Amino acid sequence: MSEKTGGTGRRGFLKQLGMAAAGAAAFGAEAAAPKPRRDVRRWDATTDLLVMGSGAGGISAALEARRSGIQAMVLEKFHVPGGSSSLSGGVCYLGGGTALQKALGFTDTVEDMYRYMMAASGLYADEKKIQLYCEGSVAHFDWLVANGVHYARKFSEEKEISIPDGSLYYCGSELVHPYREQARPAPRGHVPPSPHLIGGRDLMKALTRAALDAGAQLRLRCSAERLILESDGSVAGVSATDENGRSIHIRATRGVVLAAGGFIHNRPMLERFAPELARCSVPWGRAGDLGQGILMGMAVGGAVQRMHHGFVILPMYPPETILNGILVNSRGQRFVPEDGYYGLVGHEIAFKLDDGQAYMIVDKPHAFAWKDFRFNVAAEGATIAELEGRLKLPEGSLQQTVEYYNRHAKDRRDPLLHKAEKYLAPLKQAPFVAYDVGLKNTFMPVHTFGGLQTNTDAQVINAWGDPIPGLYASGRTSAGLPVAPYIGSGVSIGDGTFFGRRAGRHAAGRKA
Amino acid sequence: MSEKTGGTGRRGFLKQLGMAAAGAAAFGAEAAAPKPRRDVRRWDATTDLLVMGSGAGGISAALEARRSGIQAMVLEKFHVPGGSSSLSGGVCYLGGGTALQKALGFTDTVEDMYRYMMAASGLYADEKKIQLYCEGSVAHFDWLVANGVHYARKFSEEKEISIPDGSLYYCGSELVHPYREQARPAPRGHVPPSPHLIGGRDLMKALTRAALDAGAQLRLRCSAERLILESDGSVAGVSATDENGRSIHIRATRGVVLAAGGFIHNRPMLERFAPELARCSVPWGRAGDLGQGILMGMAVGGAVQRMHHGFVILPMYPPETILNGILVNSRGQRFVPEDGYYGLVGHEIAFKLDDGQAYMIVDKPHAFAWKDFRFNVAAEGATIAELEGRLKLPEGSLQQTVEYYNRHAKDRRDPLLHKAEKYLAPLKQAPFVAYDVGLKNTFMPVHTFGGLQTNTDAQVINAWGDPIPGLYASGRTSAGLPVAPYIGSGVSIGDGTFFGRRAGRHAAGRKA
């Protein structure tokens, strides 16, 4: 609250704009305040492009920078590289007729991919980025392959979170109403074959190897903390804490890429900007997702966008037999096609239901086997009426919902929500089970999508769209392609690698 | 996209931070960039507190500043004062046992008011502001009366948008499930009696008169355009265009209050930050709601909050007989208690229904009379089945919904949504009518709630919570008490007057 922020000249001015350490309060943001170049006595190291964070967005920028003939140095706070990308499934959402799609006999077009992405992204769709991404998608797949990412020539028909041996699958809501009517569906999930959800590890291994082979420098346990600004406001480098705990200054002649992930582990920041996500149970991401990159960008005038958006996952399948059940809210009503992408289903629960409470209702043949058991049983009943009573749903509501569902499901129809035919069968064999898939009691991983607004060259832009010279952001430090509800696995990694590359290329074209 | 933003010294730095006119692109934001004090050759006028905008938030700040012994000058862009406040119903949401509540025999406590506001404001509730507001509510009402705002000693039982002769009414969802169980309901809408929704005009007339009588200066057709910053980053004044079209500089020794309304009429800004609101039909507010105050604050590092939030109004009543009908979505399901505050109902349609489509279904005795007619008739039917077919709802869905509703309504019960008893009667007398209350075809006024983040003294704060010295915001230029869904009429005007006053008082306590 102090107003003793006086002082003279630019220093005082910087301070006013939150650009000095003193007085800062919330969520460790003080550590994100920039430093004027004139306070830097000497540079401890120099590179062309300095990248903060070694996840998909950062490594891709470094790799492309090297390929474009400039130096690149990646700082990674932790002792292992890869960031949250290496914790992910490693899926890239790609299409328009990639080599893998063609090899497996699937037809896809840039237009259909674009149509799906626009329709599913809804009101928050970034048309320019989506268009560029769809047009560049085939070449981007080739780039991943050329850089050592391995894909199996096998399509997987199952609705899975990880694909044990295939590499192409339907990873979003392409086959789900109303999207299947709006764009010709094609499988666009491209993933290294991975028995245990470790596609991300394999993807990042390959890209990191490629970046190192191409001559990028990687400094582990070295954490970037503040941007250093020239007097003209352009970015000159970063101050960091190195492997030995020393404060160092690194000069970056072509720019800095903020690629330090989202802010799912920064609780005060999450509560302030994304309260819907804050009420989900499992913050998902490496420990580094503290919003540091976003705060550093905000501190130099970077605009943020969609800060309340995120990826809320209800991991219902496998096995997909569970999708024969119906999802109901606490009014006993169905509210989302059960076969929707799990990011869509999670979003509907977290953002659309005020009490965040939902149940998955199945009959005996479709209940989870013990080995697949994943949710708490909220209630069981010999009849639907009994189940309804135990769940304390409005009297008659669930009975009516099931009656309506069964009436049509026996003809393999779902006039209410158009769930795909293969999941349609009447719920009739007791006991009936209700799994608790509400926010309170369910394993529901979540991470953030909001971040610094960037243009199509991954430059961070200010409140009215002007780029901040020398400053880039990629991956979840930026507000990229992923919006809420999330439209399919691999849009985030796809965005990070694609626009990360564009950052590296753009920086190479800048005057040093 | 140009990076030729170089230059030297602070000027270049300002430019980089978007603080110069050149290069700016989107939504007229360039005109919001601040000016360094050293570029001001002479001051054309000097005051203590300079207020931008003459709505409730601005006038209250000026009045309280005068009462605290400092000068105040209000700049109003248009030829009439009052801003969007004078276009509003003029309701103040007040309670805790105001003189009017007591005079009319109603019991209310600060705790019940606090409980309602916290519960209804949901995840985005600002606890500190709500607490302060509830505690100060009784005194705030007295202040309004002392400043000439007239209230009638009459309670109005009707659910109305304007109250012809009463001054106290239930103006939110206090009597609606689940809030009526969470806090003891009390009528908290305090409004000058007003036959034609002109309470806002009367309220603003009184407050403006009081401010002028207290010695505040009001300059009409004089529009503030940029903040002027001292070299230490504090706010020194504004540059403006005066009554004769001349560029002038006005010094403000104690501070500037940005009280220039929201951004409902700035289409690009609306589409970027609040796409849900952008799809509503009727931008509601005076022509000055262009976001200029918000942009000026952002331009000096002010943080923004809840930019996607707004007030979406579905003006279903009067007459309230319409509430005997049921609201259904395009799946034929009920989704909100029909007797909920119209801001709640509007929010559910605009934010929760992907297609933004809903219908109000009534039977003959509850249809609008011609004089009250307000919505398009989407369909009529001799039976519910016929109506359902004409609306192209999922087969059997509406029939089932009505059957369920009727079954309980005949006993005056609503187990699904707990609509109040007085609106419960079976829909049985043909013809049945469906009014279109979807976003596309309905008169649905909307305005914005997002804006500059302020502390409880109405000081604008930066990304990590530090106040910007000398800068205040109030009314819809700030992110105040109103959140989405809106919890009741008068929270916005209440917030504007209450925190506007705090701005005036705080500024008076600053060193000149």
Across residues A494-498, what is the average pLDDT?
98
Q: Report whether pLDDT(B457) > 90.
A: yes
Higher pLDDT, A10 or B344: B344
Pick left, alpha or beta for residue B435 (phi over 0 → left; psi -120 to 50 → alpha; otherwise beta): beta
State whether B464 and A404 contact (CB < 8 Å): no
Task: Round to whole Å and give the CA distance between B106 and B110.
Answer: 13
Per-residue pLDDT at B470: 97
For residue A490, give how far its alpha carbon lies from the nearest alpha carbon of chain B (Å): 23
Q: What is the pLDDT of residues B114-132, one digit of tens each?
A: 999 999 999 999 999 999 9
Contact B18 A407 (CB under 8 A): no
Per-residue pLDDT band for A208 (boundaries 50, 70, 90) equals: very high
Residue B256 near residue B468 (C-beta atoms within 8 A):
no
pLDDT category at B166 given cuts 50, 70, 90 is confident
Using an 8 Å CB-CB cutoff, list chain A residues near B417.
331
Per-residue b or e along B482-498, where b marks 16 or more CB atoms closer than 10 Å to that residue's CB = bbbbbbbbbbbbbbbbb
Q: Specify the pLDDT at position B7.
A: 32
Q: For residue B10, what pLDDT band results from cuts at 50, 70 and 90?
A: very low
C-beta atoms of B464 and A24 within 8 A: yes
CB contact under 8 A, B276 and A123: yes
What domains lie within chain A, and their CATH numbers? 14-90+194-310+446-512 (3.50.50.60), 314-436 (3.90.700.10)
Cα–Cα distance, A125 to B404 (Å, whole number): 38
Contact with chain B for residue A331, Cβ under 8 A: yes
Q: Is the pLDDT of residue B368 over 90?
A: no
**Chain B closest CA to A145's CA: distance in Å?**
32
Q: Which residue of A has its CA nearest to B279?
A: A123
pLDDT at residue B95 tops 60: yes
The conformation of residue A321, written as its DSSP 8-state character, comes to G
Residues A131, B500: Cα–Cα separation, whole Å: 45
Tell me the CA distances in angstroms from B176 to B120, B332, B345, one per residue in order: 10, 22, 12
Residue B438, token pair as written in the block:
């979807």
Average pLDDT over residues B338-346: 94
Highest mean pLDDT among B181-195, B265-279, B428-442, B493-507: B493-507
Say which of A16, A232, A299 has its CB closest to residue B234.
A16
Question: Across the interface, which of B16, B26, B404 has its CB nearest the CB of A465?
Answer: B26
Mean residue pLDDT across chain A? 90
CA neighbours closer than 13 Å in the CB half-sphere of residue A434: 28
- For residue B246, pLDDT over 70 is answered with yes
Question: What pLDDT does residue B369 have?
Answer: 81
Contact B352, B381 (CB under 8 A): no
Interchain proximity A417–B26, CB inside 8 Å: no
Q: Where are the alpha helices (DSSP H) in B243-383?
A: 267-273, 275-278, 292-299, 342-347
The β-bridge relationship of strands A451-452 and B376-381 is unpaired
* Helix axes of B491-508 and B127-135: crossing angle, nearest 10 degrees: 90
First to last CA, chain B: 41
CA-closest candidate to residue B269, choices B307, B306, B302: B307
Does residue B492 register a pLDDT over 70? Answer: yes
Mean pLDDT, residues A4-8 taken together? 32
Predicted confidence at residue A231, as pLDDT, reads: 83
Local confidence band at A465 (pLDDT 50, 70, 90 cut-offs)? confident
CB contact under 8 A, B10 and A6: no
Query: Is B510 close to A467, i.e. CB distance below 8 A?
Result: no
d(C-alpha B460, C-alpha B474), whole Å? 9
Residues A272-290 have pLDDT tens digits of: 899 999 998 788 888 889 9
Name the DSSP class of B394: P
Residues B106 and B168: beta-carbon distance below 8 Å: yes
Of all residues in chain A, what percent carry a pLDDT higher than 70? 93
Q: Verify whether the Cβ–Cβ distance B8 to A295 is below 8 Å.
A: no
pLDDT tens-digit series, residues B295-314: 999 888 888 889 999 999 99
Look up residue B350 and give its DSSP letter: I
Residues 374-413, chain B, touching A (beta carbon < 8 A) = 394-397, 400, 404, 407
At residue A23, the pLDDT reads 29
pLDDT at B70 over 50: yes
User: Which pLDDT belongs to residue B300?
Assistant: 85
Check residue B248 and give its pLDDT.
97
pLDDT for the residue numbered A161: 66
- Chain B residues with beta carbon closer than 8 angstroms to that of A17: 17, 233, 300-301, 462
The percentage of residues in chain B with a pLDDT greater than 70, rounded to a whole number, is 93
SS3 of A403, please?
helix
At A117-170, the pLDDT tens digits run 999 999 999 999 999 999 999 999 999 999 999 999 999 987 766 677 889 999
Q: What percent of chain B is helix, strand and coil (3-state, nearest 5)?
A: 35, 20, 45
pLDDT of residue B30: 56
Cβ of residue B13 closer than 8 Å to a chain A Cβ? yes
Task: Write the pLDDT tens digit of every residue in B312-331.
Answer: 999 888 888 899 999 999 99
Q: Say which residue, A351 or B17, is predicted with more confidence.
A: A351
B461 touches chain A (CB under 8 A): no
Q: Does B122 touch chain A (CB under 8 A)?
A: yes
How confident is the model at residue B161, as a pLDDT? Answer: 67
Q: Per-residue pLDDT for B12 more than 60? A: no
Residue B281, pLDDT score: 79
User: Is pLDDT of A258 > 90?
Assistant: yes
pLDDT-derived band at A512 (thresholds 50, 70, 90) equals confident
Q: Does residue B6 belong to the interface with chain A, where contact is any CB pair within 8 Å?
A: yes
Q: Which A residues, 236 through 295, put their C-beta within 8 Å of a C-beta on chain B?
A: 272-273, 275-276, 278-279, 295
Residue A450 — pLDDT band, cuts 50, 70, 90? Answer: very high
A30 pLDDT band, cuts 50/70/90, is: low
pLDDT higher than threshold 70 for residue A335: yes
Higher-confidence position of A66 and A286:
A66
From A316, A297, A310, select the one nearest A374 (Cα to Cα): A316
The dihedral region occupied by B203, where left means phi > 0, alpha psi between -120 and 50, and beta the remainder, is: alpha
Quick one: average pLDDT of B419-427? 96
User: In this structure, are residues A311 and A343 in contact, taking their beta carbons and an 8 Å threshold?
Assistant: yes
Place of tokens 């034929």: B332
What confidence score (pLDDT) does residue B8 get?
Answer: 32
